A and B are shown apart, each in its own frame.
Chain A
């Protein structure tokens, strides 16, 4: 059994795994683009105790944090086609539900779960900004919107950045479950290549390496951005 690693396969498959990176990044970026504003708005509803929305986002966060992503994927992947086929049938739209690119399901699942995580990130970040800052901004004549945009958000963002970074890395990792929706990302591509000769050890080493490279780059990028955001922040000794 023990013939050691198949190095040619290891090297070839590394590039196969690498070719899944664009899909992974696309899902990550789309999910973040949806989740960032939505998470921020829902965090505001929590902080300002907006009647129904406040209650809604509480349950939403609790559900997403309380259930494994794989089960969220199962649920979306089983229910969305069902709902869509009903909808298509009723309005006589001639689209086969099973022809829909799985990437659309991935967008739904991952923006759904990331929004919940970001609600908590923004909520804790906004609560670190002193209330006096908002009052001071209003007292010099800024509108609520201006106060948030110019005074509150820049400060909260510095606090939120490390957590947004963690959320992004977790999101990238979570996309590896996209194989359950036959999403053509890193894991699925390498796994398919491994199926031919049962070179699973090599394939998983490749996937492992690709993720480490990807995550290190993302973490490094966030660190640079955090430094930029911090440039006006003076901490008294």
Chain B
């Protein structure tokens, strides 16, 4: 057991937390921007999928399929090396851009694919009759969407949105591979500075941070769902 003491020191887990936690700011910033842009792009894709144009449908579905088949790490590097290379052709020099920009582009593209499906399935779960009924009592189509369709679709979309958020947060942990100093990047720097000793403790600290974060997100969305689904009566599946 002496070996174990030399290599593994539980106190190290606790002590590395104050050093790691400030770097969550970067993780959150990158995730937050990706969520905002990704939701917007996802909305456009969902409209394309639900619209009448066959070509738009094909394009949006093709996009989702491709993104679903691409590992995040591959997409990350494709964007990191590919975007500046493409920009070169237009005479733009983007090689010195902040790494965070490439990370945000990558996860925007990925989150958009998730969101387009979340929005589409939420919209399709609302019966057409709801819209017709709303219009028949004199609401304008915009009012019908805003007051009747949207609130109902939101309840359906919430759990999936929450899952997408957790997935995004976790895929975001790969951003260190292109040199982003987020919480994972910082952890790797600490380990390198320690000559690779106590790596395990720091990884465990990282795992705990992520675990706690996703439990918080999960609980938050569970509460939110309860608030928004007041007045809704469905089969209880718990």
Within 8 A of A (CB), among B56-83: 65-66, 68-75, 77-78, 81-82
| B contacts, CB < 8 Å to A | 1, 3-4, 7-8, 65-66, 68-75, 77-78, 81-82, 85, 88-89, 95, 166, 170-171, 173-174, 184, 199-200, 203-204, 206-207, 210-215, 237
Residue among B7, B73, B170 with max Cβ neighbours from chain A (10 Å): B73
A176: interface (CB < 8 Å): yes
CA A132 – CA B103 in complex, angstroms? 51
Query: From residue B218, how far is it (CB to closest CB) to chain A in Å?
Result: 8
CA A12 – CA B191 in complex, angstroms? 37
Find chain B residues with CB under 8 A from A215 CB: 68-69
Instruction: Say which residue of B7, B89, B215 sits within 8 Å of A66 (CB atoms).
Output: B215
Query: From residue A55, how far is it (CB to closest CB) to chain B in Å?
Result: 16
How many A-B Cβ pairs are below 8 Å? 108
| A contacts, CB < 8 Å to B | 1-2, 62-63, 65-72, 74-75, 78-79, 82, 85-86, 89, 127, 169, 173-174, 176-177, 187, 200-201, 204-205, 207-208, 211-212, 214-216
Find chain B residues with CB under 8 A from A75 CB: 200, 203-204, 207
Nearest chain-A residue to B1 (Cβ)?
Answer: A86
| A69→B170 contact, CB < 8 A | yes
| B211→A208 contact, CB < 8 A | no
Would A74 and B203 be within 8 Å (CB), given that A66-B210, A176-B74 are in contact? yes
| B3→A205 contact, CB < 8 A | no
Query: From residue B94, how far is it (CB to closest CB) to chain A in Å?
Result: 11
Find chain A residues with CB under 8 A from B213 CB: 66
Would A204 and B200 be within 8 Å (CB), given that A62-B211, A66-B214, A67-B207 are in contact? no
CA A204 – CA B74 in complex, angstroms? 6
CA A89 – CA B2 in complex, angstroms? 11
| B203→A187 contact, CB < 8 A | no
| A212→B70 contact, CB < 8 A | yes
Would A173 and B173 be within 8 Å (CB), given that A71-B206, A78-B200 are in contact? no
| A169→B204 contact, CB < 8 A | no
Since A70-B174, A177-B73 are in contact, a sample of 19 more A-B pairs with Cβ atoms closer than 8 Å, ordered by chain A residue number, is A2-B89, A62-B211, A63-B211, A65-B214, A66-B212, A66-B213, A68-B170, A71-B210, A75-B203, A82-B7, A169-B69, A176-B73, A201-B81, A204-B81, A205-B78, A208-B75, A211-B69, A212-B66, A216-B69
CA A197 – CA B7 in complex, angstroms? 39
| B82→A201 contact, CB < 8 A | yes
Find chain B residues with CB under 8 A from A82 CB: 3-4, 7-8, 200
